[in-house]
Amino acid sequence: MHSFRGFLLKEFYHIFRDRRMAAILFGMPLIQLLLFGFAIRNEIQEVNLGIYDQSHDAVTREITDKFASSGYFVMTQELHSRAEIEHAFAEGSIAEAIVFEPGFATRMIREGRANVQVLTDGSNPNISKIITGYTTSVLQDYRNTALRTAEVGVEAVPLMMFNPELKSVNLFVPGLMALILMLVSALMTSISITREKESGTMEVLLVSSLRPVEIIVGKVVPYFLLAFVNVVTVVALASFVFGVPCRGSVTLLMLESLLFIVTALSLGIFISTITSSQQVAMMISLAGLLLPTILLSGFIFPVASMPLPLRMISNLIPAKWYLIIVRGIMLKGTSFGYIWKETLVLALMATVLMAASIKKFKTRL
Amino acid sequence: MSEPVIHTDKLTKRFGGFVAVDALSLTISGGEIFGFLGANGAGKTTAIRMLTGLLAPTSGKATVAGFDLYSGSEGVKRNIGYMSQRFSLYEDLTVRENIRFFAGIYGLTNQAIKEKSRQLLDSLKLVAVADTRLASLPLGWKQKLAFSVAILHEPKIVFLDEPTGGVDPVTRRRFWDMIYEASKQGLTIFVTTHYMDEAEYCDRLCIMVDGKVAALDRPDAMKRTFGVESMNEVFIQLARSKKTE
Amino acid sequence: MKEVVTLANVGKRFGAVQALQGVTISVGKGELFGFIGADGAGKTTLFRILATLLLPDEGRAEVLGLDVVRSYRDIRKRIGYMPGKFSLYPDLSVEENLRFFASVFGTTVEKNYELIRDIYSQLEPFKTRRAGKLSGGMKQKLALSCALVHRPEVLFLDEPTTGVDAVSRKEFWQMLRRLREQGMTILVSTPYMDEAVLCDRIAFMQEGKMLALDTPTGITTLFRKPLFAIRASDTWGLLCVLRASPDAASVYAFGSALHYSDNRPSARADELLAALQADGFTDVSVSVIQPGIEDTFIALMEEKQGSVDE
């Protein structure tokens, strides 16, 4: 026990004496949250809109006014030909163009329908999709008011449950938690173990009376605590600064986070058992853990829209399961009864990884 | 002898309040083998970094290969070679690729690179292993190649920073044979070492203690001055005197 | 039990490289035993086997009468090991490093202070300094203190003096001698030939094999050819002329002189002198000398490899 205490103490010295390390550990969660919260948003404001009105009648003018008054669009220019549209897109002066066919009002009255073409800049598909969505709803809105008396139809009234304002920060916070925990736990532990291998101190530790389990646990405990401090910080900041709710049980959220931390720590130890250089450990952690956590977990791109092979791979990524859990608890107020499967997957991953690394962590070189 | 290749006058480097090199004044002439000795932390590395243009001096004057250290550091770099503790060659490249690469960074033309590679492979008797990766060659060969590559661009002076650390006694001596040969052809050698017997191979020696020049002379004269048999004893006496101060 | 370390025909291979081959040695209690060899000679592999960090592929190795493969746990508690490159934590202070290594061996600095006092007292004025900021010689003293702090029965020191200046090296060896006088068994490796004479017995290592094993004076009797120290002001010219001689067995620079060994057992100094003077070396001097450890090592190396490379 005396040996183990000494070991723990040493680990904390390492963390607090390395200014860069301390800065990463405590500064990174803050900066990332602020970055994601303020800079990266999915909501669109002030879409530059160009109108190519080939009809110039009362109806097209009314629709145009509706766009202008919606608050989302800014009418930048009147366009006069197809070529002009293309030019405006190329120039970047508009993000969307709306084309009314010739004789719009006449056709509308005679046939009961007329065509509007909506053109968006597909070079950024995400934004493009959102703009198209806004445009459709403005058009829908117009049709509903204009034709209310004339037609009876089925109307879809969308309501985004759990995130009615479509705030992207709500979406990012769970992903960010996964990212930060992965970084602190997996990256930092794998680096701190491989550093000892590089400096030769691991040789002395192995020869000492410490058992491998003690070495592993000694490496894990400090980062376990730090990662937990980070979770609390992120959740608190998200709630106070950005008003991200936690609708479910905070205790459950914390317990699930601890489970994810353990999984990430086991991954970190596992990495350090298969390599002996800090550099390689860092590369594996960054390319093998962080990128998938960002790209394949559903953090940024929804898992459901991935091709099958990627969907299968995403199942192997702990962050995917953690994300489902966190989104459930924070945004939907889900209780444990609905997320026990995901919890089980994480627990399984942690157990297998921990067992594998303890087995692989050699008592020799 | 020819005019000085290195001339320094009260060259000094401070790091904050710490004086790493204190008023170093040296004159080294062409073709000389100049040994630069000192305990760990005596300022050797700092001095070498200044003389190779990697570190700006705090004060003092210096010319290296005819260029002023302050205004002509580009000229200095073009006219010096450098080989560090172990070799600065790439283990995962072949002999030929290493030569090509280093010739390339010294700005040799393609034609000149080809010519040089051929010459070098011939003179080092490495033709048979030209396309072998360096990692699988014996230490002695690698060392020869590293030295040859360091002087590929025909510098006026070459800095060797502990070139023989951890090397077996035969390979070490073969390396010194190369140094002798190069110096006979007019190359100036500036070398640091922890092996005191190697210090005796130098034409002149400078022993640094705490950033200052503690002794500067020919090895035999130095031994006479201190009244001892070997350089090792000279070195230990100098370091001792510092401790008892 | 008298033998502290016994190695019987120990071999170790890493892929295509035979790192160790047929090493047989036994080291008695209280002995200061040196392994002399350059980088890649297999010294580190051997020390790691003894410290139970590597398993030998062939042969048997015992430390304190215990097998390094089966009884590694017991061995680890009773040995002190200092790997090549100093294994200290640069971000921990001198005192913290020492306390840490004491604690991982389940002991305290106070309990064993007597043993390390001699060495550690020199460091005490700097005990709050970070280990990374120590000079090479001081780091080495600290590393030795850390290896000793749990009162081991045998010390394995892998190249403790590499890259350290001559003065610190000398001090370090004085410390080792004092430890040996207190009855400590010490196995040490070094690339420096001049350190070999300070050992009780030495083993020459080259490319994983043992070239010789004896006391420092005993080992020089393996050098059988007549050996001369030859001096002239033109050392390089002298070297070229001597190398060209058909009778030359070997010619190497040793400090300010050349050591020349002759293939003819009857070779005489006055004859050599006359021949060299005739060659134009007016200030040449020739004297018969006793071969040193380095002379012997070189001779054995060349014998083993034919004429080395080329």
> Both ends of chain C: CA-CA distance in Å?
48
**pLDDT tops 50 at residue B245:** no
* Residues A113, A180 within the same domain: no
* Residues A31, A57 within the same domain: no
The last residue of a domain, from among B112, B139, B154: B154
Helices (H), C19-88: 43-50, 72-78
Domain boundaries defined on chain C: 3-214, 227-290
Q: Containing domain of residue A90, as a range?
A: 47-146
* Residues A34, A54 within the same domain: no
CB–CB of C92 and A13 under 8 A? yes
* Residues B185, B216 within the same domain: yes
* Residues B150, B174 within the same domain: no
pLDDT, average across residues B70-89: 83
**CATH match of C3-214 with 3.40.50.300:** yes
What does the pLDDT read at residue A42? 58
* Residues B10, B123 within the same domain: no
Q: What is the DSSP string of A259-273?
A: HHHHHHHHHHHHHHH
Give the pLDDT band of residue B73 (cuts 50, 70, 90).
Answer: confident
What does the pLDDT read at residue C310? 40
* Residues B67, B182 within the same domain: yes
pLDDT per residue as tens digits for the range C275-310: 999 998 989 999 999 999 999 999 998 888 764 444
* Residues A239, A298 within the same domain: yes
Kindly give, in sequence order, each residue whose CB lies less than 8 Å from that of residue B177, ignoring residues fewer than 6 positions away: C239
Based on the structure, what is the number of domains in chain A?
2
Top-confidence residue, B192 or C136? B192
Closest Cβ opposite residue C38 in set B168, B176, B200: B168
User: A134-138, B152-156, C88-92: lowest mean pLDDT where?
Assistant: A134-138
Q: Percentage of chain C with pLDDT > 70?
A: 98
CB–CB of C239 and B220 under 8 A? no
Give the pLDDT band of residue B244 (cuts 50, 70, 90).
Answer: very low
Distance of CA B153 to CAs B77, B121, B235, Å?
A: 11, 15, 35
* Residues B19, B33 within the same domain: yes
Positions in chain A short of pLDDT 50: none
pLDDT per residue as tens digits for the range C144-167: 999 999 999 999 999 998 878 888
**CATH match of C227-290 with 3.30.460:** no
Measured between CA atoms, how close is C259 to chain A, in angstroms? 39
Q: Using an 8 Å Cβ cutoff, are C131 and C89 in contact?
A: yes
Which chains lie within 8 Å of chain A at 3 or more CB pairs, if any? C
| Mean pLDDT, chain C, whole residue set | 90
pLDDT per residue as tens digits for the range C31-81: 999 999 988 899 999 999 999 999 999 999 999 999 999 999 899 989 999
What does the pLDDT read at residue B80? 92
**pLDDT tops 90 at residue C28:** yes
Cα–Cα distance for residue pair B150/B144, rounded to 1 Å: 10
Cα–Cα distance for residue pair C199/C33, rounded to 1 Å: 6
Cα–Cα distance for residue pair C147/C156, rounded to 1 Å: 9
pLDDT, average across residues B232-243: 79
* Residues A267, A354 within the same domain: yes
R_g of chain C, CA atoms, integer Å: 23
Q: Containing domain of residue B46, as a range?
A: 1-79+156-245
* Residues B63, B165 within the same domain: yes
What does the pLDDT read at residue A101? 86
**pLDDT tops 90 at residue B34:** yes
- Interchain contact A/B (3 or more Cβ pairs less than 8 Å): no
Tell whether A20 is within 8 A of chain C (Cβ).
no
* Residues A189, A255 within the same domain: yes
Give the pLDDT band of residue B75 (cuts 50, 70, 90).
Answer: confident
Which chain A residues are within 8 Å of C89, Cβ to Cβ? 10, 13-14, 199, 201
pLDDT per residue as tens digits for the range C187-221: 999 988 889 999 999 999 998 999 999 999 999 99
Based on the structure, what is the number of domains in chain B?
2
DSSP state of A101: P
* Residues B245, B165 within the same domain: yes
Which range, B101-105, B217-221, B229-233, C186-190, has the best average confidence (pLDDT)? Answer: C186-190
Cα–Cα distance for residue pair B165/B119, rounded to 1 Å: 28
Tell whether A164 is within 8 A of chain C (Cβ).
no
* Residues B50, B128 within the same domain: no
CB–CB of C76 and A364 under 8 A? no
**Is residue A103 situated within a structural domain?**
yes
Residue C168: both structure tokens together: 């610190």
User: Where does residue B56 rank: exposed (0-12), middle (13-18), buried (19+ CB within 10 A)?
Assistant: exposed
**Count H helices, E strands: chain B?**
9, 10
* Residues B243, B164 within the same domain: yes
* Residues B92, B65 within the same domain: no
**Is residue A133 situated within a structural domain?**
yes
| Mean pLDDT, chain B, whole residue set | 88
Choose the mutation target among A203, A211, A213, A361 for the interface with C, i.e. most C CBs under 10 Å: A203
Cα–Cα distance for residue pair B22/B34, rounded to 1 Å: 19
User: A167-176, B24-33, B209-218: lowest mean pLDDT where?
Assistant: A167-176
